[in-house]
Structure 1
């Protein structure tokens, strides 16, 4: 095992999460951040459930959920008429909400508190990376600090240093894509708006004609307002006290308010051609930039982290070959390209560049007030969703891959998070209700849907005889409470949620990766399948095409 630390460049949410993810898997790291900790500004605000479950596993999500604003409805308006409503399901007890709004500096504070309690992470502020040298066996960076220049060496380097990535520039990598000419103004204001805590998006609002306005709720009575200014606007003029006051008063009337933070930005749509360069990996904004409408920026960055984290740890610890790391490119690059396509379509609608695009948008918006079909074409941002990996050598093809398996998650998809009971001892009295996500993380999880205790015992004995690797937990899923100790620990599908979520019948097997994506599925599994499927999913064996 290589016990050298991994170098993480960047101390924002992506870099801090990467360091915590590595620590979770037993790998030390050194985090180098060019600046100091920030303490203001909403920035990346909308946290998706799939990012929250990563932070929950890392011990950070509880304060985020306590401080954040959960919203269940997102409304889109043309002028002042509502034309589309996106409804989120009400989370039940123990279930994570679909979206939580939390200012980025508070997210970072939650991560930092956890990081400071983690002995295997060494964080350095004011360390600006100015040189990168890599060999076949490691990476050395040179950083400028208030006390002079220092050199730091490690096994690998994770570039999490944002849109202006110094690592990307030092490696002289092109960052192809587009910068949209329109500028946007953001103001965080504290005021007592008589509105429910839900985002509201306006096309052609009376106070911002032919442009957009987005209002987002935040904790502690703070609201974020984004105004589209257009490409010819003077940001300095728009930020002048009188001009800004007119904009704010146009939305909130004469309510008293406090300006908390003010900024402006342009949208960029850019993506690296390759996410891995030797021992250097790019994650988050250092690798891909998307417009924020749809909340695909930070959430996608956390998906980058969870995809690479376990693979890097397993390669360093000798559980998997170094070639497993190539699947980061094969899985995350298509996911990032998908986000590019989705947000490009949004930006063509929000900020049309051609006369044809402007005419199309105007027609759709006018028709949306009377036509359901037109309302479906109003694009104020398609909200972030987990990506299904499709073309990856560590997804096991075969049984159930091409044939129809209605409602079952396919290999590469994130598995559903459903309620269940964990039975660790008999007799069954108060077996705790938990959620499937809490069983996922350290290694592979093999879910075998048993008909009864006897079936579970037979399968478990067969798996033990095959001497499966120790980094997979095989858990029987039983429709009734178990009655024999030999099947424990077991998952009791007490309300049928797991069987429904996986569309599984007795005999089915689902292999879940440490990042919560499905590696393989079998409708009629044999005990020998477990070790073979884990070997393929960990990159230790060529992908097979048959089901046996």
Structure 2
């Protein structure tokens, strides 16, 4: 699809809202920013029965591809929100990567060597396609009011709400909200309105990022070069996208002139040297620097920050959009419970606890990637060169090479919502982490996936032992393995270290909150209350 066709398809009309007339209206949740994070937050809330007003100052989906790589966990979230299959069908699925030094292959890696998962390791998809799928999905749901060309120009705290001043083509109006979710990007105007700033660091190294259209038949893999012959002394990255588009990323150095480097007469020869030909078209070009920063706090009264508005990391490792969508998933079920009066306001504080820790984890990975890809001192350069040299011969050194540690979901180790294990467990299911998926079969013999059957519910999974387990804890839906779902391949048993009589409690965001090897109704009920925020 050409940029002109996208512009026509992805442009939306401004419509006057009834909220612009009469007295000031109060809404349960207002989300600012209709990018992937804001759209996912709104869709998740709507699927949980909470009406949402979604504001965006533009009237179209962004034209540059920007976000590109969506990890397995993000795809599982998108699938629950109703767009996962569309992303997979349109996107480029991959799991293999290669790391080069000069012309030599240092090593290759496989991000999902085992089978038995519904979602692939990664899908590459231009961000405008993801946003398009999400906007279409939002339009199918009752309770989402998307207001294009509604620019927030004022945001202030009230004792139990927030107040927004919104500018439109028809003039300004005021809107109040029980909760405001700010997902308005790295330059977040709402963050500035509250006088908030990031802590962390910005790196000086500049990188060129370009999308080019060509018919070259490279493998569907992630290729990364240190000191390639076509770009001496720097780094390079190549990724495949849909529509014959390829993402190219080139290190430029700290002194590069961003405006100069984006000129077609400068970019085109660089890419031609990399590809060995000039049979390509430039689709989109930008220059960026690494940002490894975050807000000190994500929750400010009734205003909550998510995605790039809350934290920034380097593009290497695909941690930006993936972590932002995981912010949305973490926040939506908690806001829904609080708005419905099912949990105290303190439950939202657990969003900050969990996602600040996740941001710090991502920032740590991103900072180490930046230091390895673009060393800033002689010591860092010597370390990198030694690791690259050793990686040619020694397997242990390959783990030291950092071309951008690819996105993985965070495990919430310190959270008020989890109940610590009383006994050791094996398998790949980890307390505080998203559940591993497993192929199952329903009682009627039709195939199913574990995560698809859990959906967005709070769930108790039981491995029966013949005893009467009584009713499930209040607010939880029970799934009995062997009755409701059959573990036909033994993957559930393997990944969950399942034994007869065991019980697992799963949060509405599919993270494991508690597990018990034996039936213990009182402890299980207490763990369920804790998981849902009654003890937050």
Normalised to the residue count of structure 1, the TM-score between the two structures is 0.90
Match of 2:179 among 153, 156, 178: 156
Residue 354 of structure 2, aligned match among 331, 351, 355 = 331
Instruction: Report the counterpart of residue 527 of structure 2 in structure 1.
Output: 533
Structure-1 separation of matches of 2:394 and 2:528: 51
Q: Which runs of 5+ in 2 are unaligned?
A: 1-24
Return the alpha-carbon distance in structure 2 between the equivalents of residues 510 and 92 of structure 1.
23
Q: Identify the residue that residue 476 of structure 2 maps to in structure 1.
A: 472
TM-score by length of 2: 0.92
* Aligned counterpart, 1:128: 151
Cα pair 1:283 1:304 within 8 Å, conserved:
yes
CA contact (8 A) 1:91 1:97 kept: no
How far apart in 1 are the matches of 2:174 and 2:367? 40
Judged with a 3 Å threshold, the aligned counterparts in structure 2 of structure 1 residues 316 and 39 are, in CA distance, closer, same or farther, namely: closer
Aligned to 1:442: 456
CA offsets 1:155-188 (integer angstroms, 9 cap, x no match): 1000101111111111101211111111111111
Checking the alignment, whether the CA contact within 8 Å between 2:95 and 2:112 is kept in structure 1 is yes
Task: Compute the RMSD of aligned alpha carbons.
Answer: 1.9
Q: How far apart, CA to CA, are the structure 2 residues paired with 1:301 and 1:476?
A: 33
Q: Is the 8 A contact 2:26 2:176 kept in 1?
A: no
Offset from partner CA, 1:460-504 (integer Å, 9 cap, x none): xx226xxx42x31112212xxx5xxxxxxx222222221111001
Distance in 2 between residues matched to 1:230 and 1:176, nearest whole Å: 24
2:51 maps to 1:31: no
Say which of 201, 204, 208 aligns to 1:185.
208
Determine if contact 1:440/1:515 at 8 Å carries over to the other structure.
Answer: no
Shift of residue 91, structure 1, vs aligned partner: 7.7
* Structure 1 CA distance for aligned equivalents of residues 439 and 145 of structure 2: 37
Q: CA deviation at 1:146?
A: 2.3
**Equivalences for residues 343-354 of structure 1 within 5 A:** 343-354=366-377
Counterpart CA distance in 2 for 1:214 and 1:97 is 21
> C-alpha offsets along residues 316-364 of structure 1, whole Å, 9 cap, x if unaligned?
1111111111111111111110111111111011111112112222232
Q: How far did 1:93 drift?
A: 7.9
- Counterpart check, 1:386 vs 2:409: yes
Number of aligned residue pairs: 512
The change in CA–CA distance for 1:398 and 1:383 in structure 2 (over 3 A counts) is closer
- In the alignment, structure 1 segments of 5+ residues that lack a partner are 424-429, 483-489, 543-548
Indicate conservation of the 8 Å contact 2:101/2:388, yes or no.
yes
Write the distance in 1 (CA, Å) between the matches of 2:27 and 2:446: 40
Is the deviation greater in 520-529 or in 213-222? 520-529
Report the counterpart of residue 378 of structure 2 in structure 1.
355
Residues 86 and 528 of structure 1, relative CA distance in 2, 3 Å threshold: same
- Residue matched to 2:224: 201
User: Is 1:192–1:255's contact at 8 Å kept on the other side of the alignment?
Assistant: no
> Aligned partners of 1:3 and 1:23: how far apart in 2?
17
Counterpart mapping for 1:453-472 below 5 A: 454-455=466-467, 458-459=468-469, 462-463=470-471, 468-469=473-474, 471-472=475-476
Distance 2:455 2:341 in 1: 18
Within the candidate set 494, 499, 523, 1:505 is matched to 499
Deviation at 1:432, TM superposition (A): 1.2
Residue 253 of structure 2 corresponds to residue 249 of structure 1: no
Instruction: Provide the rounded CA distance (Å) in 1 between the counterparts of 2:220 and 2:189.
Output: 38
Q: Is 1:415–2:435 an aligned residue pair?
A: yes
